[in-house]
Amino acid sequence: MQRLHISTTVREQLVDITLEVAEAVAVSGIAEGVAVVYSPHTTAGITVNENADPDVAADLLETLRRIVPCEAGYRHCEGNSDAHVKASLVGSSAVVPIDGGRLVLGTWQGVYFAEFDGPRSRNVIVTVTPG
């Protein structure tokens, strides 16, 4: 298990962590298996999506803002209920196959840390398992 440290700079942000996850796979020495990428935070998530065009990340965040507005009469008193809902919609983990010691991602795919309650200092856990 390896722990990545992520610093976000705004309230909602998608941070491309593909290279850091690939490094965790390389350090593990495991050639075939899976990498489990997990966020231990209730207001952040992990997703796999296109990382070639930054407009995709912007569109994802904008769509989530429309679906789950910041102010909607939530009962949770901390003012971040929308972040909890967005994190649940995105999910807290992703599983990526490993072949030849490398992540098996599509041509345009990347692994993202999804921040919904920043800016914050966060952790991502990467567990590499042989298979």
**pLDDT tens track for 42-64:** 999 999 999 999 999 999 999 99
Query: What is the tens place of the pLDDT at every residue in 74-109?
Result: 888 888 999 999 999 999 999 999 999 999 999 999
- The pTM assigned to this predicted structure is 0.96
Q: What is the mean pLDDT of residues 17-40?
A: 98
Nearest one of 34, 14, 10, 40 to 102, comparing CA atoms:
34
Dist. CA 111–CA 121, nearest whole Å: 18
Structure tokens belonging to residue 113: 């840390």
Dist. CA 101–CA 103, nearest whole Å: 7
Domain residue ranges in the chain: 2-130
What pLDDT score does 117 carry? 98
Topology annotation, domain 2-130? Jelly Rolls (2.60.120)
DSSP-derived letter for residue 105 is: -
For the chain, the average pLDDT equals 97
In sign, the C-alpha dihedral spanning 93, 99, 103, 107 is negative
Angle of the 54-67 helix axis to the 81-90 helix axis, nearest 10 = 120
Do you find a cis peptide bond into 119, omega within 30 degrees of 0? yes
In sign, the C-alpha dihedral spanning 62, 67, 68, 73 is positive
